[in-house]
């Protein structure tokens, strides 16, 4: 098979690794945390202030305790997922402070928008988990917003959780709230029930908040999705190979810390790196470079036998238009084809993470469904080839009324949103754009939502913890 997408050779991957080791050994990584620094010192690492220096032996020792595949348990086992090897899961957009409206205008996201996200995750056939900061609500205090989001997610959705990791305290709050649902934190010790997404602060450092989140989550053996968001030409080298070496060093350092805290803690190798656009002074995410970085990062994760994280339907468009679909399709199809395991921002993301569109969310779900179908292997055997039927129909015959067609036509794909009507029927149906179709489907989805059952005592305990923590604030 001809494949024009670059596959990095073992020699090329080794060269990136060796460059990262040079950085780790001679420049080091700053963990802005005395607790982390003391832990590194305890294990014999060379330090200078909060700068930590790593040897090849340090990194390899950490990698030996990682695992290539793990399970994230849901309180309803039907929603339990696997991450790693040939399995992949999808999560929605995250972090956007604004909602992109069908009119093209934007407004501030509020907590009700987050709850809508919870309902869409619960009712989705394509989205496997959700959680903290699916949108950033502006109508609740920033310092306690994570409490509101985690609590509402646990109430409105039964799928696995992406935990709050803005700080060590937010990680503690997540563990406490999830522990309530699981009848005590002891029941989730080294039992993955969530994933914690933590980004390094490029170049070559982790903030005190990020470090605290790693240590708290690792202490309970909860999976860590360790990522970077290097911008080529701004927070990292302008060349993609140089950027890869830098981000690789940051991720390996974060992995090492997690394994020192609790060997065997599941980790995912992630990248959200992109380029700096020198003309606009922005960090665009719908670029060819973003796709190339994601592809190379997935290959690096495989080099270390680790699950991978990459972006999903990323776009710089501010409206669910052709640009949004083109950029999103390019990233999604590339990373799924390359073997990604954990897809963040798989649906809904707009405007370089600044906004989220509910309409684009549903359009992206359709795209994911199609990609899952494309990636499904063909079964080639005598039964599926069915030469006898071909011979029976013969030259110039028809298959429409054949019994085999009736038996199997439902196995063919059927769109939920995408148009397959001819022009006349489409015109008579109102000439609706894909965005208009998605708006109508959104109403249907939300109308069909049923809140999952949750023990009233558990719900009461969740609200009590949130109230207590907000009072402390």
Q: How far apart are the C-alpha atoms of 48 and 471, rounded to whole Å?
A: 39
Does 271 map to a domain?
yes
Considering the domain boundaries, does residue 163 fall inside one? Answer: yes
- End residue of a domain, out of 375, 390, 425: 375
**Is 225 in the same domain as 201?**
yes
- Quote the radius of gyration of the chain (alpha carbons, Å): 24
Residues facing 278 on adjacent strands: none
For residues 308 and 407, membership in a common domain is answered with no
* 142 plus 280 within the same structural domain: yes
Q: Give which of 86, 20, 13, 18 is closest to 339, Cα–Cα.
A: 86
Measured at the CA of 166, the angle between CA 463 and CA 249, to 5 degrees, comes to 150
| Cβ-count burial 246-262 (b if 16+ within 10 Å, e if not) | bbbbbbbbbbbbbbbbb
The total number of structural domains in the chain stands at: 2
How far, rounded to the nearest angstrom, does the alpha carbon of residue 353 sit from its chain's CA centroid?
Answer: 13
Q: Which H or E run includes 355?
A: strand 355-356
Structural domain contains residue 135: yes
Same domain, 360 and 400: no
Q: Return phi, psi of residue 354, to 5°.
A: -80, -30
What is the tens place of the pLDDT at every residue in 251-308? 999 999 999 999 999 999 999 999 999 998 889 999 999 999 999 999 999 999 999 9
Residues 263 and 399 in one domain: no
Q: Are residues 142 and 211 in the same domain?
A: yes
Structure tokens that stand for 263 in this block: 């060997």
> Most distant CA pair in the chain: distance in Å?
81
Mean pLDDT estimate for the chain: 95
Q: Is residue 201 part of a domain?
A: yes
Q: Decide if 200 contacts 166 (C-beta within 8 A).
A: no
Range of the domain at 398: 382-411
pLDDT tens per residue across span 324-383 = 999 999 999 999 999 999 999 999 999 999 999 999 999 999 999 999 999 999 999 999
User: What are the tokens at 78?
Assistant: 């039907």
473 pLDDT band (50/70/90 cuts)? low
Answer yes or no: is 108 within a domain.
yes
Residue 36 within any structural domain of the chain: no
Distance in angstroms (rounded) separating the CA atoms of residues 291 and 357: 22
Give the whole-angstrom CA distance, residue 59 versus residue 72.
25
Looking at the fold, whether 387 and 275 belong to one and the same domain comes out as: no
Structure tokens at 282: 């922005």
- List the one residue out of 47, 130, 51 whose CA is nearest residue 91: 130
By C-alpha distance, which of 320, 357, 356, 359 is closest to 442?
359
Cα–Cα distance for residue pair 202/193, rounded to 1 Å: 29
Q: Could you give the residue ranges of the DSSP H alpha helices within 49-167?
A: 56-64, 111-123, 145-156
- Pair 356, 388 in one domain: no
Task: Say if CB 304 and CB 269 are below 8 A apart.
Answer: yes
Strands across the sheet containing 106-108? 106-108, 98-100, 355-356, 349-350
Task: Annotate 5-48 with DSSP letters as a single string.
Answer: S----HHHHHHHHHHHHHHHHHT-EEE--HHHHHHHHHTT-EEE
The pLDDT value given to residue 162: 95
Q: What are phi and psi of 274, to 5 degrees?
A: -150, -155
- Are residues 313 and 398 both part of a single domain? no
The residue out of 327, 348, 375 marking a domain boundary is 375
Neighbours of 417 (CB within 10 A): 17
Q: Kindly report, residue by residue over 243-259, the tens digit of the pLDDT.
A: 999 999 999 999 999 99
Domain presence at residue 326: yes
Mean pLDDT within 464-473 = 88
Burial of 457 per CB tally in 10 Å (0-12, 13-18, 19+): exposed
Q: Looking at residue 461, what is its pLDDT? A: 97
pLDDT, tens digit, 9 for 90 and up, residues 152-205: 999 999 999 999 999 999 999 999 999 999 999 999 999 999 999 999 999 999
- Indicate whether 139 and 225 sit together in one domain: yes
Q: Are residues 135 and 266 in the same domain?
A: yes
Does the pLDDT value for residue 471 go beyond 90? no
93/314 Cα distance (integer angstroms): 9
| Helix (H) / strand (E) containing 69 | strand 69-72
Query: Is the confidence at residue 3, as pLDDT, over 80?
Result: no
Taking only the tens place, the pLDDT of each residue in 79-96 is 999 999 999 999 999 999
Residue 29 lies in a domain: no
Instruction: Kindly report the CATH number assigned to the domain that includes residue 286.
Output: 3.20.20.480
Residues in the chain: 473
Q: Please say whether the beta carbons of 222 and 189 come within 8 A.
A: no
Cα–Cα distance measured from residue 18 to residue 436, given in angstroms and rounded to the nearest whole number: 51
What is the edge-to-edge ordering of all strands in the sheet holding 51-53? Answer: 46-48, 51-53, 29-31, 205-206
Q: Is the pLDDT of residue 1 over 80?
A: no
d(Cα 357, Cα 109) in Å, to the nearest integer? 11
Task: Report the percent of the chain where pLDDT is more than 70.
Answer: 100
Model pTM score? 0.95
Do 352 and 276 share a domain, yes or no?
A: yes
């Amino acid at each position: 098979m001809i494949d024009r997408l670059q596959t990095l050779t073992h020699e090329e991957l080794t060269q990136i690794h060796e460059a990262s080791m040079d950085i780790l050994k001679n420049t080091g990584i700053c963990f802005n945390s005395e607790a982390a620094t003391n832990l590194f010192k305890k294990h014999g690492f060379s330090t200078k202030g909060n700068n930590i220096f790593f040897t090849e032996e340090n990194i390899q020792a950490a990698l030996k305790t990682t695992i290539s595949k793990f399970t994230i348990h849901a309180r309803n086992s039907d929603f339990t997922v696997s991450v790693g090897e040939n399995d992949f899961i999808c999560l929605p957009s995250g972090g956007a402070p604004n909602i992109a409206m069908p009119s093209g205008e934007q407004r501030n996201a509020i907590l009700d928008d987050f709850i809508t996200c919870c309902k869409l995750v619960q009712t989705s056939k394509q989205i496997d988990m959700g959680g903290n900061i699916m949108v950033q609500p502006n109508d609740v205090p920033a310092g306690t917003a994570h409490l509101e989001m985690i609590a509402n997610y646990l109430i409105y959705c039964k799928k696995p959780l992406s935990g709050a990791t803005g700080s060590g305290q937010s990680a503690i709050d997540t563990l406490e709230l999830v522990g309530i649902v699981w009848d005590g934190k002891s029941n989730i010790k080294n039992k993955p029930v969530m994933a914690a997404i933590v980004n390094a602060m490029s170049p070559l450092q982790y903030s005190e908040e990020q470090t605290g989140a790693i240590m708290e989550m690792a202490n309970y053996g909860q999976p860590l999705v360790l990522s970077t968001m290097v911008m080529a030409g701004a927070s990292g080298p302008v060349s993609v190979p140089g950027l890869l070496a830098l981000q690789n060093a940051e991720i390996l350092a974060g992995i090492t810390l997690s394994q020192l805290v609790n060997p065997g803690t599941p980790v995912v190798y992630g990248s959200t790196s992109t380029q700096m656009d020198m003309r606009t002074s922005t960090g665009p995410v719908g670029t060819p470079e973003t796709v190339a970085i994601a592809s190379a990062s997935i290959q690096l994760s495989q080099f270390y036998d680790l699950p991978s994280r990459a972006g999903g339907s990323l776009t710089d468009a501010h409206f669910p238009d052709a640009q949004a679909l083109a950029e999103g399709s390019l990233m999604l199809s590339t990373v799924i084809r390359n073997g990604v395991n954990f897809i963040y921002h798989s649906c809904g993301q707009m405007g370089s993470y600044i906004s989220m569109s509910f309409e684009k969310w549903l359009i992206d779900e359709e795209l994911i469904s199609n990609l899952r179908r494309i990636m499904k292997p063909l079964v080639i055997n005598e039964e599926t080839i069915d030469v006898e039927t071909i011979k029976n129909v013969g030259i110039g015959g028809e298959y429409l009324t054949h019994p085999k067609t009736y038996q199997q036509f439902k196995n063919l794909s059927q769109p939920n949103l995408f148009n397959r009507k001819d022009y006349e029927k489409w015109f008579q149906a109102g000439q609706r754009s894909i965005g208009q179709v998605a708006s109508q489907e959104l109403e249907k989805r939300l109308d069909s939502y049923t809140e999952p059952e949750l023990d009233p005592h558990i719900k009461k305990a969740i609200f009590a913890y949130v109230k207590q923590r907000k009072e402390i604030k």
